[in-house]
Structure 1
Amino acid sequence: MSVGAIDTWGRLDRRDRLAVTPRFRRDMLQSLPPRRPLIAHGLGRSYGDVATLEDGVHLRTEDLDRIMSFDPQTGVLRAEAGISLSAVLQLVVPHGWFLPTTPGSRFVTLGGAVANDVHGKNHHQAGTFGSHIRAIGLSRTNGKEYVLSPDHEAGLFAATVGGLGLTGLISWVEIQLVAVDSSFLDVETLAFENLEEFFEIAAASEEGFEHTVSWIDCLGKGERAGRGIFSRANWCTDKKYQAHDDRSVMLMPFEAPSFILNGVSVKAFNIAYRAAQMLKLGRHRTHYAPFFYPLDGIGSWNKLYGPKGFYQYQCVTPKEAGITPVRRMLGEIAAARQGSFLAVLKTFGSKVSPGLLSFPREGVTLALDFPNKGKRTLDLFERLDRIVAEVGGRLYPAKDARMPPALFRAGYPRIDEFLAYRDEGIDSDFARRIFT
């Protein structure tokens, strides 16, 4: 048992917390103090409070990172929940395999990918991470052990996928990888001048391109409102396999001063970023690392937002709501002059996520980072919340640090079904904020 710093990626709540770091799966529950609630904590890439617990015990999974089995012929991998997606890729890429879908950082644990049912640039074809899980090993705090799958203990499986670590301790995960013909992608970059053009390009790209994503200038007004850069890609077929190298990651050595994070600097960044991306229009070949994980090349990039930390606001609005809610949200953000350095806009496909609390649904998702400006930022979020709620949208718990309970309940209609599967010995700051 130790006391040390356990932080959120948004760096909004930095303090020392009680933690245990078991070396083996069999020790996960044996080393815990009695009658203390706990939460599993991986690599700390959740932006908000889903993996922190005031006055509780954080079970750190950093040593539970072993490969249990990998079949290079079938692409079936089983590994302990604490292994990073980065380590998985370094093993499987040379054999011609890749993750079925991947979030925007490879420094995420396998267990965290399951608990948040992460999604990637290929959601319109692959769905979420949970769609590719073959089995889950789950330890409940009452001492019971389960092996879950879509066909065995299906209710508890659905609650665990996207269940934010609240149904038990995920000890291992078995997934089906996907075969790829290269570790490089053929990428096409296009510019769009407004939201109408974005939706046209996105619709035209869904069948012919496995991976799609766009950056959007969230401070654009008038004719520039909704302009951005659209990237779409497929795997190359050259049979060249080169795994990434984490030794090339550069560290952010200091916190950025708060005074440089203002409307003027964000606007200047957006202009400069668009200009740089315009030079890349057309087709080019790129390795998977910079395409899927552009920010992973800068270690501790969250320090760029200064000592007060930052929020990420990610929502999804349903397809039937169309363009209007996105336009309204961008209007509120531009009027507040609190735009994001990197705003991401993407469409989700129709494949239903397997988890009771999975975030993606068919529609469009907007994700933005906001430096913490206190009440000004929170007031802006309330205005964005109203837009999301009016159309029946939802926010992403893995990115959230302040969502109102009413918005969560409205956006996740299967919450009562989920609560029946909660592990009574597990809690989190997010759960206390939302469920009580």
Structure 2
Amino acid sequence: MRTRRRLLTGWGRTAPTAATVVRPRTAEEAAAVLHGAGPGARGAIARGLGRSYGDAAQSAGGLVLDCAELAPGYRLDQASGTVTASSGTPLADLMARLLPHGRFLPVTPGTRQVTVGGAVAADIHGKNHHRDSSFGAHVRELRLLTPDGAERVCGPDRDPELFWATVGGMGLTGVVTEARFAVPRVETAMMRVDTDRTGDLDEALELMAATDDRYHHTVCWVDLLARGAATGRGVLTRAHHARADELPPRMRRRPLAFAPQALFTAPKAVPSGLLNTWSVRAFNTAYYAKAPKRGRDEIQPLGSFFHPLDAVRDWNRVYGPSGLVQYQFVVPFGAEDTLRSIVARLSAAGAPSFLAVLKRFGEGTPGPLSFPRPGWTLALDLPASLPGLAALLDGFDEEVLEAGGALYLAKDSRASARTVHAMYPRMEEWKRIREKVDPDRVLVSDLSRRLEL
């Protein structure tokens, strides 16, 4: 196995810590790594493509299992509509393999640069949660390497307690080596998109509540720097997978063609302060003005609709050397005043976020640490160097907690253990399951230490 000492961060590029990175190729090799991370050592954690924003895939002074080559495999079963893939398989690779067969992922987040194992560990969600729930709802079976060296098979109907503790469990119940999950049929690699500009936050909330059920995928970009009567204005996009007969004639010859590429690469050295209130306000104003006031039936490639930021390789560099903090929360339906308060406070603070997206969640999975649940979720990026950021976000934590909401662990890099434990009422249930499979605390991450998981 290849090993090397590395300084690791999440996608936010904050709080780097050093670990020994090991790249196992088989479950047996991974088991040997876990054996060496037991009592007296600093523990180990699995890592995919490093797209968790915070410290979920770091283990200071310990071992990090790079799963890129672990148990490689890919099997599509057209009869059952499922695919089996190794944990280190990027969703981008799966899309490229599935689409020629008329299949697509059941859930995709805002980037396709996520691995199968990461999708399970974070129980990722997408623009279709209001209809299709999160990734874990579509998983039929997992192969899970537990710290005792056993490779267990679990699923919703086989060892469900361990299965649901793993879905959303941030890699702390075992190392996923393989997953089998449902892949729905599609006719094309295109989306049919409707767009509406909304004048303020309330208009967006009303329009989403009234129309989301008519669409398979829906998301609203929010301008967090707009003020006054325009506070929370946005661009709402809703879409279905396009049918072949809905494509322009020139596209019908190859309806499932899919070959997205990064158009640009962010420079390695970006000066601090490039993203400030003035530059982001200018971007937001231009983006809002460019969007159609009411657009209907626009045909867009899958990549453009689902993963616009993937067009810029290493886009996280634009936040400069201090990095960025992503903040994502959910509050239940009926707690819209909390959402309004947070948006208004961000606007008043002049917080420079150009990546703020609002979605409606439907029913969640039974996972005790799974984040999505019925309600409104807002995700936003902010420069880590923003003055007063810690106090601002601490205040939001209290508002979200009081409303009965939660923070997303895959995005978090700074919350307190007290806050997170209060937001996840089934935390003790999850910890009891974890204790059964990992009594010696072999699986440890910087996140688990910080949040006392």
Give the TM-score range, shorter chain.
over 0.9
2:72 aligned residue = 66
Change (3 A) 1:38 1:308: same
The Cα of 1:409 is off from its aligned counterpart by 1.2
Query: Is contact 1:212-1:231 (8 Å) kept?
Result: yes
Which ranges of structure 1 fall in alignment gaps of 5 or more residues?
Answer: none
2:222 — aligned with what? 216
Query: Residue 25 of structure 1: CA displacement?
Result: 2.6
Q: Partner of 2:15 in structure 1?
A: 13
> Identity of aligned pairs, percent?
39
Asked whether 1:105 is paired with 2:105, we answer no
TM-score by length of 2: 0.92
The CA distance in 2 between the partners of 1:199 and 1:375, in whole Å, is 30
Alignment of 1:416 with 2:428, yes or no, is yes
SS at match of 2:181: strand
Question: Contact (CA 8 Å) 1:255, 1:305: kept in 2 or not?
Answer: no
SS in 1 for 2:218: strand
8 Å CA contact 2:106, 2:184 repeated in 1: yes
- Matched to 1:30, the amino acid is A
Q: Does the CA-based 8 Å contact 2:194-2:237 persist in structure 1?
A: yes
**Number of the residue aligned with 2:408:** 396
1:6, distance to aligned residue in structure 2 (A): 2.5
Asked if 1 retains the 8 angstrom alpha-carbon contact of 2:27 and 2:151, the reply is no
The 1:371/1:38 distance shift into structure 2, 3 A limit, reads: same
1:319 alignment partner, one of 320, 324, 333:
333
Moved more, 384-393 or 94-103: 384-393
Shift of 1:31: 4.1
**Aligned runs of 1:152-171 on 2, under 5 Å?**
152-171=158-177
Deviation at 1:246? 5.0
1:90 equivalenced with 2:104 (yes/no): no
1:136 and 2:142 matched = yes
C-alpha distance in structure 1 between counterparts of 2:159 and 2:194, whole Å: 43
CA–CA distance in structure 1, aligned partners of residues 141 and 376 of structure 2: 30
Matches within 5 A, 1:260-299: 260-278=274-292, 281-299=295-313
The one-letter amino acid paired with 1:137 is R
What are the within-5 Å matches in structure 2 for residues 318-397 of structure 1? Answer: 318-321=332-335, 323-349=336-362, 351-373=363-385, 376-397=388-409
Q: Deviations over 1:265-318 (max 9, x none)?
A: 121111111112237833310111110011011110000100000000000011
Structure 1: distance between partners of 2:208 and 2:90: 31
Distance 1:207 1:312 in 2: 28
SS in 2 for 1:420: helix
- The 10-residue stretch of structure 1 (335-344 or 408-417) with the greater mean CA deviation from structure 2: 335-344
1:262 is displaced (CA, Å) by 1.6
For residues 69 and 217 of structure 1, the distance between their equivalents in structure 2, rounded to whole angstroms, comes to: 42
2:251: which partner in 1? none
- Aligned match of 1:30: 32
User: What is the distance in 2 between the residues matched to 1:333 and 1:218?
Assistant: 6
Structure 1 segments, 4+ long, off by >4 Å, are 246-249
Range moving further from structure 2, 399-408 or 105-114 = 399-408
Deviations 1:380-414 (A, max 9, x none): 10121121112111100100000111221121100
Which runs of 5 or more residues in structure 2 are unaligned? Answer: 246-253
Cα-to-partner distance string for 1:123-178 (whole Å, 9 max, x where unaligned): 01000000000000011111122101101111001100000000011111000111
Counterpart of 1:309 in structure 2 is 323
Amino acid corresponding to residue 46 of structure 1 in structure 2: S
Q: Does 1:426 align with 2:443?
A: yes
What is the one-letter code of the residue matched to 1:388? V
Q: Does 1:300 align with 2:314?
A: yes
Change (3 A) 1:307 1:248: closer
d(CA) in 1 for partners of 2:293 and 2:196? 10
Contact 1:93 1:241 survives alignment (8 Å): no
Once the two structures are overlaid, the 10-residue window that deviates more, 132-141 or 61-70, is 61-70
